[in-house]
Amino acid sequence: MTPSPPKPRIWLLFAHHFGDNVQIRAVAEAAAQGDAEITGFQLEFNAMRHYPKALLGATLITLRRDPGFRPPWPDMVISSGRRPIPAARWIRNASGGKTRIVWIGRPCIPLDQVDLVLTTPQYMLPPAPNVVMFSMPFGVTTAATRRKRAVALLGGSSKAAHVTLAYVDRFADAAAAMAAKSGLPLSVSTSPRSPEGAAARLARRLPEAEIYDFRARKGEDNPYRRWLAEAGACLVSGDSISLLSDALGAGAPVSLLPTPARALLARFGDTWWGRRWFKNNGNRAWFRPPAHLPAIHARLVALGLARWEDGLLRIDDVTPTVRAEHAEGIRRVRAVLHAPR
């Protein structure tokens, strides 16, 4: 009897962003389809992580300690973000070039130096044969229970967005209107990036709402997933693709309140030079634009999945479109995994 060929090996390189790690695992499990061995490595980085990855090349010098990479080498490495790139390239070199690299988001090295990139519009990557564009990232689909609450999820400031207390007031008003329209009791959660005093501000403007103060509770007993499973309507702030993706995964109607861009970035983005900078420059090693979330919103509108109404982005059921995009992405990953070496 001819022995069965060995299962392909997939290594996952996890960094410091929980949401990225969730996507890495989800892509790997979908691509493996039960016929691959998956091994995860949690990487810790030193100060060398700040050096441009294109200059560092294939190295483990950015790692704080030995990650435990040992042969047999994997057929594929899947990771996300900038920091794990040198380690992924080191693994490929150690394998004699046999390991394939699949990246989620933007690798910030020339695109032809990875085998496949799964990305979303906010990263502003240029078109390329090995780039697959999704409307929404891979995420966790929340199993719906009884729809018994309206849920509002507040993010916070980022490199591109500026969430002020004045914005929190507008968010509270939009949340109150959503709850009134849905006829459901309101639950509101802040996040690690929400501004100081946001929860107190929400509590004053929404005295009937249940408020989860992430900062005060330090993330303990977080009802986030439970609330999403019970959501009959969702409102999210416009600063976070993770909040939007999770809300859409819950299957309830979703509205998004755009967050104002940081003043200098907004002024520059309105210029000819600024528009050129944003367009297709997201993968630069130096002077790349921050994630541009309005590009996600524009794609949803262009696909007929969302519309602007009363200052909010009203998003319809994106599930069929996103599932089809993800299925094509996984088909591409499996093609890379099983390609002849």
36-94 pLDDT, tens digit each: 999 999 999 999 888 777 778 899 999 999 999 999 999 999 999 999 999 999 999 99
Residue 262's pLDDT is: 60
- Collapsing DSSP to helix, strand or coil, 80 comes out as strand
Residue 154's pLDDT is: 97
Residue 157's pLDDT is: 86
List C-alpha distances in Å: 127 to 117, 279, 283, 292: 11, 11, 11, 16
Residue 16's pLDDT is: 86
For the chain, what percent of residues have pLDDT higher than 90? 66
Q: Which residues of the chain register pLDDT less than 70?
A: 1-4, 139-145, 262-289
Separation between Cα atoms, residue 126 and residue 280, nearest integer Å: 4
Residue 264's pLDDT is: 56
Domains belonging to the chain, first-starting first, are 9-135+323-337 (3.40.50), 149-317 (3.40.50.720)
Separation between Cα atoms, residue 8 and residue 188, nearest integer Å: 44
Residue 289's pLDDT is: 66
- Collapsing DSSP to helix, strand or coil, 330 comes out as helix
